[in-house]
């Protein structure tokens, strides 16, 4: 990695979210902030949704003679005392320069880099709370996998955050199982960030070393004063409605080099690209493919069948991206990056969507029943994504062009043709509407 420095101001980093993945990412950026004092303030803030608990009896910190083990304490107090998230990432030591903070407003105050890592349904409310409390020139990275889809549109979570807060936000996604990353088992990730013109191509700065972006090459300083530009392009190549604020020149530009420095660890290799839409779509569509792969695994069809489903699924993921985000999506994002093929392989090998689909076939019950029995109140992301993508494609008459993505939702039922009665009661077509069986998958995938 290149050495960065020579700027008077340092970046302050805040992680918004403290679940297992949020804590794992916070660990990484706190380690790097401490190792690069020329770029970052040493202390990294992590916003924590406050709750009270005692140290679990299974924790190495459990001591029957300690008040932490016998009386409820605030989670932030426990994290800051033990330097461990004893509830959501137990057994993993967190850096001492990572500060758990229950106040969202205090956590993001004066931060120039905001890393979002929380359930997507909380984005809107938390962004509303943050308004008026962040720097106008702050920039963000969303670690929230997936996209928001309905019959009208596909929205990137990173752009939803950016629109709410009036900032630019990129995305991070990949084959990243939180516990494995936290245990420092080797893995890779993909960071998607298309630097706004006034950030990386300001004549007074060193331009980002990654040549070109989907929206053009870097102009020379004699051609244009980019400090006067506050517009940037969204993932569809249209001018964003967000008018950005230019960061001060004495602050290192947030470009590909800086993001690699912030996220790259010897055990966590980060590749930075400009394709925000491709990285985001990969994190969503792979869940549908994982369900289809789980179905054929449950049938006992073997590895050849699973590989066939994954191959067709990958092609449809690329096609979806190129069809609806043609100006920015790159095929290589899906075929070469961790956020594409690697995340697909992981999800289709042992992820929750794969496992639950496999069990539904093996047990001859609805996948919704498996979800209730196995996930302790959590929801399978692939089910809602499959339904939303189906509705989006149907509204455009594109169902026939995506037989696997569409068929997984609209035509799958268990091996004996059992209909999901809950879906019928709710009046929807549903994931188990009973038109096809899993045995029909090869015909559905056959070239037309």
Q: Is the pLDDT of residue 12 over 90?
A: yes
Does residue 433 contact residue 414 with C-beta atoms inside 8 Å? no
First to last CA, the chain: 47
What b/e sequence results for 120-140 when a residue is b if at least 16 CB atoms lie within 10 Å of its CB, and e otherwise? Answer: beebeebbeebeebbbebbbb
Q: What is the pLDDT of residue 435?
A: 60
Q: What is the pLDDT of residue 2?
A: 46
- Name which residue leads in pLDDT, 249 or 423: 249
CA distance readout (Å), 368 to 102, 138, 413: 35, 41, 11
Confidence category of residue 15, pLDDT binned at 50, 70, 90: very high
pLDDT digits (tens, 9 = 90+) for 113-166: 999 999 999 999 999 999 999 999 999 999 999 999 988 999 999 999 999 999
pLDDT digits (tens, 9 = 90+) for 262-300: 999 999 999 999 999 999 999 999 999 999 999 999 999
Q: What is the pLDDT of residue 227?
A: 53
Does residue 40 contact residue 10 with C-beta atoms inside 8 Å? yes
The one catalytic residue among 12, 27, 164, 286: 286
- Rg for the chain (alpha carbons), in Å? 23
Structural tokens at position 328: 């920015």
pTM for the whole thing? Answer: 0.88
Neighbours of 355 (CB within 10 A): 19
Q: What is the pLDDT of residue 222?
A: 43
Spatial separation of the C-alpha atoms in residues 80 and 68, rounded to whole Å: 12
Spatial separation of the C-alpha atoms in residues 296 and 48, rounded to whole Å: 40
Question: Pairing state of beta strands 113-116 and 13-16?
Answer: parallel
Q: What is the mean pLDDT of residues 404-433?
A: 50
Structural tokens at position 426: 């709710």
Confidence category of residue 410, pLDDT binned at 50, 70, 90: low
Residues facing 44 on adjacent strands? 98
CA distance readout (Å), 93 to 15, 66, 82, 322: 17, 20, 8, 42
Across 45-54, 196-205, 377-386, 436-445, which has the greatest mean pLDDT? Answer: 45-54
Structural tokens at position 344: 């697909």
Q: State yes or no: is 286 an active-site residue.
A: yes
**Mean pLDDT over the full length of the chain:** 88
Q: What is the mean pLDDT of residues 18-39?
A: 97
Spatial separation of the C-alpha atoms in residues 307 and 348, rounded to whole Å: 9
Residue 271: φ, ψ to 5°: -105, 130
Residues facing 85 on adjacent strands? 89
Q: What is the pLDDT of residue 143?
A: 97
């Amino acid at each position: 990695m290149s050495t960065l420095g020579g700027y008077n101001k340092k970046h302050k980093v805040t992680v918004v979210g403290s679940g297992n993945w949020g804590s794992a990412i916070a660990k990484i950026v706190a380690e790097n902030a401490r190792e690069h004092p020329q770029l970052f303030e040493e202390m990294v803030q992590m916003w924590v949704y406050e709750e009270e608990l005692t140290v679990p009896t299974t924790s190495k910190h459990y001591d029957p003679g300690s008040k932490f083990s016998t009386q409820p304490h605030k989670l932030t107090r426990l994290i800051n005392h033990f330097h461990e998230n004893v509830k959501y990432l137990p057994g993993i030591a967190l850096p001492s320069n990572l500060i758990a903070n229950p106040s969202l407003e205090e956590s993001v105050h004066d931060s120039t880099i905001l890393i979002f890592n929380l359930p997507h349904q909380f984005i809107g409310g938390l962004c509303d709370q943050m308004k008026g409390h962040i720097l106008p020139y702050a920039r963000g990275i969303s670690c929230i996998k997936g996209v928001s889809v309905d019959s009208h549109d596909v929205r990137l979570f990173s752009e939803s955050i950016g629109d709410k807060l009036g900032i630019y936000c990129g995305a991070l996604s990949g084959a990243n199982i939180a516990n494995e990353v936290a245990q420092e088992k080797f893995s890779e990730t993909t960071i998607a960030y298309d630097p706004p013109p006034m950030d990386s191509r300001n004549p007074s700065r060193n331009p980002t070393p990654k040549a070109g972006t989907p929206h053009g090459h870097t102009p020379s300083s004699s051609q244009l004063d980019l400090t006067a530009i506050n517009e940037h392009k969204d993932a569809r190549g249209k001018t964003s409605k967000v008018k950005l604020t230019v960061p001060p020149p004495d602050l290192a530009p947030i470009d590909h080099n800086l993001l690699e420095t912030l996220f790259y660890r010897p055990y966590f290799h980060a590749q930075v690209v400009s394709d925000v839409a491709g990285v985001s779509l990969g994190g969503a569509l792979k869940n549908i493919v994982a369900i289809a792969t789980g179905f054929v695994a449950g049938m006992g069809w073997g590895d050849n069948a699973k590989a066939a489903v994954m191959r067709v699924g990958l092609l449809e993921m690329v096609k979806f991206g190129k069809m609806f985000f043609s100006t920015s999506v790159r095929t290589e994002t899906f075929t070469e990056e961790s956020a594409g093929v690697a995340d697909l392989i992981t999800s289709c090998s042992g992820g929750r969507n794969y496992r639950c689909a496999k069990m539904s076939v093996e047990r001859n019950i609805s996948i919704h029943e498996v979800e209730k029995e196995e996930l302790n109140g959590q929801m399978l992301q692939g089910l809602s994504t499959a339904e939303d993508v189906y509705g989006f494609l149907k509204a455009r008459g594109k169902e026939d062009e995506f037989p696997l993505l569409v068929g997984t939702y609209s035509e799958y039922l268990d091996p004996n043709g059992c209909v999901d009665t809950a879906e019928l009661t709710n009046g929807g077509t549903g994931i188990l509407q009973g038109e096809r069986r899993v045995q029909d998958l090869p015909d559905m995938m056959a070239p037309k």
